Amino acid sequence: MAAKPRFRNEAAVTDTDDTDPEGAGDRKHPVDETLPPLKMFTSGLQHVAAMYAGVVAPPLIVGAAVGLSGTELTFLTGASLFTAGLATFLQTLGVWKIGARLPFVNGVTFAGVAPMLAIVDTTDDKADALPVIFGAIIVAGLLGFIAAPFFSKLVRFFPPVVTGTVITLIGVSLLPVAFGWAQGPDPRADDYGSTTYLTLAAITLALVLVLRRFTHGFVKQIAVLIGLVLGTLIAIPFGVTDFSPVTEADIVGFPTPFHFGAPQFALAAIVSMCVVMLVSMTESTADMLALGEIVEKPADEKTIAAGLRADTLGSAISPLFNGFMCSAFAQNIGLVAMTRIRSRFVVAAGGGFLLLMGLSPVAASLISVVPRPVLGGAGVVLFGSVAASGIQTLVKAGLEKDNNVLIVAVSLAVGIIPITAPEFYHAFPETAKIILDSGISTGCVAAVLLNLVFNHLGRHRDDDEVTAPMEPGEEISGTRATPTTAPVH
């Protein structure tokens, strides 16, 4: 018989167990629950610590290419933190039909770095580079906002075999980031990858694992945050922890609108950022599907459309405060998967911290004190958790069928090309490489297309099961083995 919904607003499902604990049908879904202030504070701060390096890297890279001074670089970084907070509020709290209302952290997408650097290189007067970039982002964001409800209809092409593949790819694609952090802050430095850095990363990883294994309750849930704090303290005797950003930062600083000049609109720049927007929307769709699985609140077409509106509107608003294109941060999905803290209000609290750091450089500098190797050690757990969630989804995807095995195998192979062979697409045009260098996007497209070809087009039956493995010494025959003819052990 149909069991009562476990949470308010959750559709009833057919289940053999029709027991309903007292009050269970009236409970809010964990995504919509608020937590005690201390847990809200520390868990939100943990989300900020997990994504901080990712959100400040693009403005530092682009700002350096433009030739900004140290003061202007600090301003640009603070602006990115501030706009990430606004975009996170839009995504988690929502307004009207904007916002997925899931525990999503939004921030500057790294997919836009390469085309923004290309815009800088092709701009004669470097003082105009940022206004041209901001103008292109505004147009791309508005066009993406209009396209969001149409783009969301693609969700029908994301069955478990596709979503599981994409979620796995998200985790696998993020792991090299953690490995890079573990080796040190500067790849060009002589000590990059030194035993000191790798030891600090290993110690932090061990601390997180020990806390997850031997603690309980709240402490276990904030194991990553505790690991980052302890790792930072341990790094002090090694001379790796740098407190100078705290002493040099201003207490208050507001991202003045159009600080670098009014936006300029150049067609070539607009086209390139529109391509980035399509890539970002594809990755955000995959991220929402992944997070929906993890928090047990599957993202439907309506949710994805609302989430994409938040991404694109946040991107369109961001240049007003000197920020860049915004997108969902996949690394925080790993944090949700590991801690099982599913409340969107926790992430909204993280958005509040981002706003605070954007308005107070000294507050932002506190997070920047955490050494990269320490972040790398924690990142192994976070990003590996995403890949593990993808594998869990694949287990439910029907891998007893040859077709699905082929879909997963080829899609994973296509998706890890940018990781294992970074120069694989070196002969392609720069515009094409924006898409091809995103393993998540290429793997996602491959999985969707292969699923259509193998499981839909021209199909009249769905019984192609994996051949039973041969026993040692068994001869190959022309007849396919079936589960019923497989040897019994």
Contact criterion met (CB below 8 Å) for 313 and 141: yes
Q: Which residue has the higher pLDDT, 13 or 311?
A: 311
Give the C-alpha distances (Å, rounded to integers) separating 94 from 170, 348, 389, 457, 479.
25, 10, 26, 38, 57
Q: Which two tokens mark 329?
A: 């941060």
Nearest by Cα to 407 from 442, 451, 440: 451
Per-residue model confidence as pLDDT tens digits over 247-280: 776 777 777 888 888 999 988 788 878 877 887 8
Per-residue model confidence as pLDDT tens digits over 94-143: 888 898 898 888 888 776 776 787 788 777 787 888 999 999 999 999 99
Nearest by Cα to 416 from 139, 173, 85: 173
Q: Which two tokens mark 142?
A: 């508005």
Residue 204 has pLDDT above 60, yes or no: yes
Contact criterion met (CB below 8 Å) for 440 and 170: yes
Q: How confident is residue 466, by pLDDT bands cut at 50, 70 and 90?
A: very low
- From CA 308, how far away is CA 282, in angstroms rounded? 9
Q: Which two tokens mark 27?
A: 């409970």
In this predicted structure, what is the pLDDT of residue 364? 66
Give the C-alpha distances (Å, rounded to integers) separating 363 from 99, 234, 241, 350.
27, 22, 17, 13
- From CA 250, how far away is CA 265, in angstroms rounded? 33
- From CA 323, how far away is CA 260, in angstroms rounded? 11
Contact criterion met (CB below 8 Å) for 6 and 297: no
**DSSP 8-state class, residue 103:** S
- From CA 28, how far away is CA 7, in angstroms rounded? 5
- From CA 79, how far away is CA 130, in angstroms rounded? 13
3-class secondary structure, 32: helix
Q: CA-CA-CA-CA torsion for 232, 204, 287, 340, nearest 10 degrees?
A: -100
In this predicted structure, what is the pLDDT of residue 335? 80
Residue 309: how many CA atoms within 13 Å on its side-chain side?
Answer: 19
In this predicted structure, what is the pLDDT of residue 8? 43
- From CA 435, how far away is CA 439, in angstroms rounded? 8
Helix (H) or strand (E) holding 211: helix 195-214
What mean pLDDT value characterizes the chain? 79
In this predicted structure, what is the pLDDT of residue 222? 75
Q: Which two tokens mark 335?
A: 């944090």
- From CA 462, how far away is CA 440, in angstroms rounded? 28
Which residues have C-beta within 8 Å of that of residue 442, sequence separation ≥ 6?
414, 415, 417, 418, 435, 436
- What DSSP letter does each residue of 10-46 carry, written as one string? PPPEE-S-----TTGGGPPPGGG----HHHHHHHHHH
Residue 95: how many CA atoms within 13 Å on its side-chain side?
Answer: 9
In this predicted structure, what is the pLDDT of residue 478? 41
